[in-house]
Amino acid sequence: MPCFQWYLIALLFLAGCHNMSSEDDIIRQLEKNEVTVKRTDVGLEVYNAGTEELVRLSSQLERMTKLKGSFSVGEPVLQGPELRFLHHHQNLRELNVYGMPISGEHLSVLPTLPNLE
């Protein structure tokens, strides 16, 4: 096989490896911001995502099945617009935003989540 073909194969392999690590990169970024990511047999559970940026990062985890915003006095809380990042998330089964000051207009994302329980 010519050297050029080996070079292309190596590039394709490295590109595939980079995509595989992107989930780990996102998890590392979340954990740096005190978000807990728990790996389970069915997917990923994300806890304490209490800002827009953390919800945006979490929404990029294709295997995420649970998202829980933080709710503690003095902690950041979700206001509602952050939920737009979850639009059509295919694996999200549980969304816990209990106690968050989210108005009804922002809950329109819920019908777009096909596996929400």
**The 3-state secondary structure of 31-90, one letter per residue:** HHCCCEEEECCCCEEEECCCCHHHHHHHHCCCCEEEEECCCCCCCCCCCCHHHHHHCCCC
Q: Residue 20: what pLDDT?
A: 45
For range 35-43, the mean pLDDT: 95
Instruction: Determine phi and psi for 114, rounding to 5 degrees.
Output: -65, -25
Predicted confidence at residue 91, as pLDDT, reads 95
pLDDT at 7: 56
Whether the per-residue pLDDT at 27 is higher than 50: the answer is yes
Structure tokens at 69: 């915003």
| Rounded Cα–Cα distance for residues 107 and 81 (Å) | 9
pLDDT tens for 77-111 read 788 899 999 999 999 999 998 878 888 899 899 99
Q: Is the pLDDT of residue 52 over 60?
A: yes
pLDDT of residue 19: 44
Three-class secondary structure of residue 37 per DSSP: strand
Domain-wise residue ranges, the chain? 3-112
